[in-house]
Structure 1
Amino acid sequence: MVNASPPKWADRFLEWYCNPALLEEIQGDAHELYYRAIKSGNRYLANLQFIWNVLRFFRWKNIKRSKRSNTNRSVMMYQNYFTVFRRGFIKQKGYSFLNVLGLAIGIACFLLISFYIRDEFSYDRFHTKADRIYRVHEIFESDGVGERSASLPFPTAEALRNDYEGQVVQAVRFFNFQAPTIAVATTTPDNIKEFNEPRLFFTDSVFFDVFDFDLVKGDKKTALAHTHSIVLTESMAQKYFKGEDAVGKFLRLQGSTNLLVTGILKDVPANAHFQFDFLVSFETLKEFYNGSMPPSWYWNPCWTYLLLKDRHDATTLQAAMPAFVQKYFPEFVRNDITLELFPLTDIHLKSHMDYEIQPNSSLTTIYVFASIALFVLLIACINFVNLSTAQAAKRAKEVGMRKTLGSQKMQLVTQFLFESILLCLLSVAIAVLIVVFALPFFNSFAEKDISPMVLFQPFYLGLLMALPLTVGIVSGAYPAFVLSSFKPITALKSNLSRERGAAFRKVLVVVQFSLSIILLIGTGVAMDQLNMLRKSDAGFAKENVIMIPVLRSPVSTNYEALKTELLRNPNTISVTAIEEVLGAKHQVGNYLIEGLTESKPYPRLNIRHDFLKTFNIPLAAGRDYSEDIVTDDSLALLVNEEFVRQMGWTSNEAAIGKTFGNRSNRKIVGVVKDFNFTSKHQPIRPLVLDLNTNPRAFELFIKYLAVRIKSNDVPATLEWLQEKWKTQIPGWPFEYFFLENNLENLYKNENKLSKITLVFSCLSIFVACLGLFGLSTFTVEQRKKEMSIRKVLGSSDSEIFMLFSKRFFVLILIANILAFPLAYLLMKQWLSSFAYQVSIDFTLFLVAALIAIGIAFVTICYQALHAARSNPAEVLKNE
């Protein structure tokens, strides 16, 4: 057998060619390869084969080993970074806690407000044809007086569909008798359930062709196609039929009309701009209007939606509206009417018309919330960057030592960025936990139903990944690129912890507290504005006024008897009837007033006798309607003071006797003091109070019974009223609400705004103070040797305290100086959207400044006193 051991030159070749670290490991492999080559018996060929095998096999193995080594080296490097991070986090746990908690709170606040904003912008976007659906508005104004209505006359939908079939695919109307509630009851004699329902609408059979609401049971094509059919939501099916199959059963409408249940809907999503519980086929309305639809082009009670073939057709159709108005609307109003197409997806935030189906939100509120979210997040990020740079400055000597031992600049940059991003990721994780636990409380006061699962949407997943990277890179940029660029000798000799970054941190503190002070001032102004809207004198009595819906009820034939019976209670002050909720809504009527050549639209309320007494509205001139003068309902009129000013009459007394209509015996008999007959978002406008004693007025015009009671023993009075109602109006549900409580809903947006602003302003101050506490702690640590020397040289505790704290108070003072003008300009801009504006109280600025200074004082007081009372001997010995 041939000796398989390679010659000495082969070993020397291996030592020259191979990685020395691998030589011992591969020596046996080399011998094995040589043995395989020598089997041919030719040693010369064996030598060549051996060299070839080394070049092929060992070169590959060496590269592979090298790559594996690089990978292991990278893993070990990041493990080392993580170890350094963990040790630093534990060693500086106070700073680390403040840093992570502050940023986590800021991110959590940002996420919560962004949930709210995204939900607001999501309204009606679940409809697949949303971009092609438009609502048509009717603007009926003359010289700035009239109405901007979200609804149209009955015939408009059909006329638009017929005249513009090239652009309009379908038209859908909604109608509810303009009634606050409609009576619904079961028909089973042994188990009758009766309720007044506020969310019942009549609608066209093509409803499901336009809107995407899920039908659980029934056929979308036929559910509303036939007269006397009704579709209800799952909640209402449970309410009326208790788990039974509601389809095929009957409900009774207004105590007389039986409707067949033909379908069950899923409950309407919360992000739909109109909510409903019942849909009744539009054909059923013919029963209420003598077998046909109302043909009037003046009365406009139908909310009308168009589905266009293409969204670009809206421009063409809008241009055709003036000709459409001239073609169909009555001559006496057509010159004052404009029709407007409004996108479905814009209704919730941008439509502020009269007679909305339900109150909308406001784009201004969204802008304010977005500003708050950005402010709080920015404050938190500034806090994080400030503490990170302060801590990083202490690591200058570490950087110098590492560079002395051979670390490259990119290694240092990578390490600092890695630690900063890791800290941000920890903050994000804590922020998500805060959001999950806080969301139920946030939903409660924001009136939302947002699920934590929204965090798994692509937008938020991307945000939660991008945020720590962005903030981490920004906060880690200073130590990564500045400290790592120092020469080792400079870093080891200089006290960089005080020399570097101090000015930058001061600027950040000023910006941070400026934003917090602006939020505090904004909160104060918002709360003042809300209190003014809610509590300032509206010009009429709204306390202890009970409103009872009576439209299309048996009250129409029994009003006087019911009124007499209710007045028998000593706690009943006065009873009247009115067209709309006073202080919230009105209607419009055309009146030809003396001095005008043609009739004009004016805000109007149909009322009954004792209206002024019930609502305690004083007369400015003339007299009230009198029950002793039977012609008052046809020949007399009451107007307000603004009406007199609009007409240009010299005084309220001059208005008395002015004629209206085309007959000289119809006269204005009284002028009432101005009062806010709509919300205080709008200025007081001219108003006509029109007496309507016709019993049929309860079929269309008179919607509420208003009963003013004494404040003592309200529950007993309500019980007594209910008993008398059942006696006088048997078989009709008794429901009521207090006027004062109802009017609170008009200012829901402002109430929500003030709550959210207050909560997040407090959180922003808290986050800012976390940063200030951290910085003051850092300053104490950096200056403890200096302060100890000062104490040895005779400085008192108070002098040390002032020396330490004055730098922070100077920063807070600068923050106030910057914040005051910015807050004033922002608040003036916000208040300009209100017809009635509270005057900005400059006391709020002083209060905000004192709060900021006070909180800052408390925040740094502990550290300042600790620095002042420290034992110089201990400090200097440790140094």
Structure 2
Amino acid sequence: MFRNYCKIAFRSLMKSKFTSFVNIGGLAISLASFLIILLYLNYELSYDRWDPSLKQVYRVSRQTESNFANNPVPAPLAPLLQEHMKEVEAYTRIIPSGKHEILISVDDRKIYQQNVVMADSGFLQVFPLRLLAGNAATAFNEPASALITKAVSEKLFGKEDPMGKVIKVYNRMAFTVTGVIAEPATPSHINASIILRDPYMAANSGWGNISYISYIRLREPLSPGVLEDKVNRIFYEHRLKTGNESYAAYIKAGHAPSLFTEAVPDIHNFPRLGSSPFKTTMILFLLAGLLLLSGALNSSNLSLVKTLKRSREVGVRKVMGSSRSQILGQFMMEVTIQCGISLLLAMCLCVVMLPLFNQTFGLSLSFSGQLYSYKMILQGGAALLAIILISGLYPAMVFSRRSVVHVMKGNFSMGNTGKRFSHSLIVVQFAVSVFFMVSVLVMAHQMNFMKHRDIGFNPEQVVQIEAMQPTREKNFEQTRAKLLRIPGVQLVSKTTAVPGGDIDTSFSTFNYAGSSRALSSVRVSTDFFATLGIAVLAGRMFSDAHPEDQDNTAIINESAAKSLGVVDPVGTQIRYASCDSVPYQIVGVVKDFQVQGFDSYVRPTLYSISNAHCTYQSGGALLVKVNTASLDKTLAGISALWETIEPGFPLRYSFLDDNFQQVFSSYTRVQYIIHVFTFISVFISVMGLLALTVYMTEQRTREIGIRKVLGASVGGIVALLSKDFLKLVIFSVLIATPVAWYLLERWLRDFAYRAGISWYLFAIAAAGALLIAFATVGLQSLLAARANPVNSLKAE
């Protein structure tokens, strides 16, 4: 019987080629999109799951008064916690380079490498990485030890064994390779290609050093509330306490706990403060689910149409003795085969689409690595089962319920219940399409707003140059003078926080007018604001004509002035709260300028020149404003000069406006995927509506012929056949509009600066849906209306 079911199913597919093509094709496209996003979701959820014990590892961070996360904490904090908390088994402190490239060399071979981590001796005790070579228990015992990945080993040493060999950082600091680390089985929030034991850790372990990100490993997991209470009590008792006031009294007096902890597996997707990429992942997953639902509903509608065409077959089968369960099983088998074919086609589409998805999101996802895992099999199987039930259950019940008497009398209509069901599916499909269209328009509106909004500075004609610390610090003035002698170079400056680049998120507490405020501290040079064309709202810029600017003056931005609660702070004094008795005099207030994109508010910031006060800040880059009239010659001159400034270090530069556009990249990627989803959704809806229109016009062929004989016009018949479908589309617009408005309004909340949702965007989406539906239905109706009535009335 099973063989017979399969044979009938394939015959049915071949008999209705157009309907089968629309059905299987729509399902395959939506299923392929869903599987890729499902793979991406699994990838995101697998962060820091490569070792079960990571649930016992916590990052300790500080929360500023402005509710910003400050991941670096004072260097002695982690050792203090281990000393006074019996629950702490081990700790480690790290400084990751992130995307910043570090020069690594072996003899004459040099590479620039991202993801270099400087750590203390406890790193492998906290993060139990597996070593391909070396002993994890002793690999980090000696100072100046280095762990490298296999990929880095091949870059530096080829096929040679790297163990015991020496690598150099910036041609100066030497480290001995003591281990080769295996890539973690899942992604990690710490991307480590090279891990170096910090040779300066002991000398830099004062409370004033807030450069290290600290992690603690507990013997057993603790609830977040209990752990944070213990951590803050110890920090208060051994660092903040100045008199006899208890911790409870300190908190009761209005002081908020400053430290918070995050379990390592939660850091990437569920950070306590700051933005999370998981929201974007969930948006894509929900949209892919909607797309899959649209494909399944389309399949259900088309399957219902097919049952009506095969009504006489049902009658004959029942007369021949087939039971209702046998007919039901036959139809469900046909639907299962259709969905199975769609799944196979979807897998082929995934092979084609996945490289494009990887390129768009900068990933390296592969079905070969995850498709055969039990999780993907179970999830894919559940999705397929859901599609089969949605696509086939109701049509199969209608198919099996066909009355022999009605069928033999020639009654092949779907009835009021079937018609309502079919129309409901069309409403849902077009509601999904309208939702996608509105989403595209709102996202495009927001992106256009961000791209054209005043960012507060002019990034054009500004070149960012990566430079070594001596070049940025003690040799900066010499380097600046040499660069200014190159034709085309107009201004040269430096900053520790480059707009559009890695942002220094560290905050410091400042005392101002008897109160304390947390401000971001940025070191710049005299011409920084002039280089970027940043406007001064009050006071003046830094100037070489004012020698005191080198050490004792500061400039703040608008947000800082608001944070300090003063209208005109020029001439007032501000100082570091914890470690500096020499105040800054505020000499200017500059306009707020965007450095991170419009999903973040401008941070209240204090700009100064010298590192003589309190904390030492480095990093960042040089900024060179150039004349683009002879850009090639200017860049060639800078490149030639750089060989004398930093011999052996090739010039690395980028244009600031290009870098700043990268801030929008994540939103641009989501916008691109939504465009694709919208096209697929509209295509599926149109194909389903077209197939249903073909069926409806076939059912009303004789009615159309009679109306034409009685004098009905072609336009009148087209309007008659189209109006019911257009009513359904209007109803779908009414359903989709409030849902789209609510969800998109919540999406826009992620932006500190956003455009509103205008009514005309919904009007455009509604008009587009109506136009697409009318074009689809109207074309088929026009063909039916122009048919010769003689052919349709022959049988009469």
Q: Provide TM-score, normalisation by structure 2.
A: 0.92
SS of aligned partner of 2:574 = coil
1:504 equivalent to 2:421? Answer yes
Match of 1:684 among 602, 608, 612: 602
1:460 equivalent to 2:370? Answer no
8 Å Cα contact 1:126/1:212 also seen in 2: no
2:339 is matched with 424
**Pairs within 5 Å for 1:147-158:** 147-158=68-79
8 Å Cα contact 2:130/2:136 also seen in 1: no
Q: 1:449 to 1:477 in 2, by over 3 A?
A: same
Match of 1:674 among 589, 592, 604: 592
2:492 is matched with 575
Match of 1:655 among 564, 569, 575: 569
CA distance in 2, matches of 1:255, 1:451: 38
2:444 is matched with 527
Instruction: Give how far 1:375 is off.
Output: 0.6
Question: What amino acid maps onto 2:438 in structure 1?
Answer: I
Question: What amino acid maps onto 1:96 in structure 2?
Answer: S
1:311 is matched with 221
Q: 1:576 to 1:434 in 2, by over 3 A?
A: same
CA distance in 2, matches of 1:708, 1:762: 43
Instruction: Give how far 1:331 is off.
Output: 6.0
CA distance in 1, matches of 2:462, 2:425: 54
2:791 is matched with 874
Q: 1:173 to 1:461 in 2, by over 3 A?
A: same
8 Å Cα contact 1:297/1:330 also seen in 2: no
Q: 1:723 to 1:209 in 2, by over 3 A?
A: same
8 Å Cα contact 2:35/2:380 also seen in 1: no
Instruction: Give how far 1:763 is off.
Output: 0.9
1:322 is matched with 232
**Pairs within 5 Å for 1:66-465:** 77-141=1-65, 144=66, 147-165=68-86, 167-176=87-96, 180-186=100-106, 188=107, 192-267=108-183, 271-282=187-198, 284-286=199-201, 292-312=202-222, 315-329=225-239, 338-351=258-271, 361-453=276-368, 454-465=370-381
Instruction: Give how far 1:125 is off.
Output: 0.6
CA distance in 2, matches of 1:415, 1:512: 27
1:600 is matched with 517
Question: What amino acid maps onto 1:218 in structure 2?
Answer: G
CA distance in 1, matches of 2:289, 2:96: 42
Instruction: Give how far 1:724 is off.
Output: 1.1
Aligned-residue identity in percent: 29
SS of aligned partner of 1:748 = helix
Instruction: Give how far 1:353 is off.
Output: 5.0
1:619 is matched with 536
Instruction: Give how far 1:374 is off.
Output: 1.3
8 Å Cα contact 2:149/2:181 also seen in 1: yes
Deviates more, 1:399-408 or 1:339-348: 399-408
8 Å Cα contact 1:526/1:753 also seen in 2: no
1:55 is matched with none
Deviates more, 1:314-323 or 1:810-819: 314-323
Instruction: Give how far 1:878 is off.
Output: 5.4
8 Å Cα contact 1:179/1:551 also seen in 2: no
CA distance in 1, matches of 2:613, 2:72: 26
Deviates more, 1:519-528 or 1:734-743: 734-743
Q: Deviations over 1:758-807 (max 9, x none)?
A: 11121111111121111111112111121112112222222222222222
CA distance in 2, matches of 1:743, 1:127: 36
CA distance in 2, matches of 1:268, 1:545: 39
1:41 is matched with none
8 Å Cα contact 2:59/2:261 also seen in 1: yes
CA distance in 1, matches of 2:772, 2:606: 55
8 Å Cα contact 1:788/1:875 also seen in 2: yes
CA distance in 2, matches of 1:343, 1:224: 24
8 Å Cα contact 1:421/1:473 also seen in 2: no
CA distance in 1, matches of 2:766, 2:226: 56
Q: Deviations over 1:76-132 (max 9, x none)?
A: x33332332222221111111111111111211111111111111111111231222
2:455 is matched with 538
1:773 equivalent to 2:690? Answer yes
CA distance in 1, matches of 2:541, 2:671: 41
Q: 1:204 to 1:828 in 2, by over 3 A?
A: same
Instruction: Give how far 1:510 is off.
Output: 0.7
1:56 is matched with none
Gap regions ≥5 residues in structure 1: 1-76, 287-291, 355-359
CA distance in 2, matches of 1:305, 1:849: 53
CA distance in 2, matches of 1:405, 1:550: 87
Instruction: Give how far 1:228 is off.
Output: 1.7
CA distance in 1, matches of 2:348, 2:168: 50
CA distance in 2, matches of 1:481, 1:665: 82
Q: 1:696 to 1:666 in 2, by over 3 A?
A: closer
1:23 is matched with none
CA distance in 2, matches of 1:718, 1:693: 30
Q: Deviations over 1:680-705 (max 9, x none)?
A: 222234321112276999x7435321
CA distance in 2, matches of 1:534, 1:150: 30
1:749 is matched with 666
SS of aligned partner of 1:137 = strand
SS of aligned partner of 1:737 = strand
2:245 is matched with none
Instruction: Give how far 1:215 is off.
Output: 2.0
8 Å Cα contact 1:273/1:348 also seen in 2: yes
8 Å Cα contact 1:152/1:301 also seen in 2: yes
Q: 1:313 to 1:591 in 2, by over 3 A?
A: closer
Q: Deviations over 1:364-391 (max 9, x none)?
A: 2122112101110110011011111121
Instruction: Give how far 1:222 is off.
Output: 2.1
CA distance in 1, matches of 2:613, 2:261: 37
Instruction: Give how far 1:230 is off.
Output: 1.2
Question: What amino acid maps onto 2:78 in structure 1?
Answer: A
8 Å Cα contact 1:551/1:703 also seen in 2: no
8 Å Cα contact 1:218/1:262 also seen in 2: yes
Q: Provide TM-score, normalisation by structure 1.
A: 0.83
Tell me how large the CA RMSD over aligned residues is.
2.7
Q: 1:467 to 1:622 in 2, by over 3 A?
A: closer
8 Å Cα contact 1:134/1:307 also seen in 2: yes
1:549 equivalent to 2:549? Answer no
CA distance in 2, matches of 1:177, 1:87: 62
CA distance in 1, matches of 2:236, 2:97: 27
1:590 equivalent to 2:506? Answer no
8 Å Cα contact 1:150/1:353 also seen in 2: no
CA distance in 2, matches of 1:93, 1:660: 78
SS of aligned partner of 1:350 = coil
Gap regions ≥5 residues in structure 2: 243-249
CA distance in 1, matches of 2:6, 2:99: 68
Q: How many aligned residue pairs are there?
A: 778
Question: What amino acid maps onto 2:366 in structure 1?
Answer: S
**Greater radius of gyration (CA):** 1
SS of aligned partner of 2:268 = helix
SS of aligned partner of 1:873 = helix
1:25 is matched with none
Q: 1:685 to 1:459 in 2, by over 3 A?
A: closer
1:839 is matched with 756
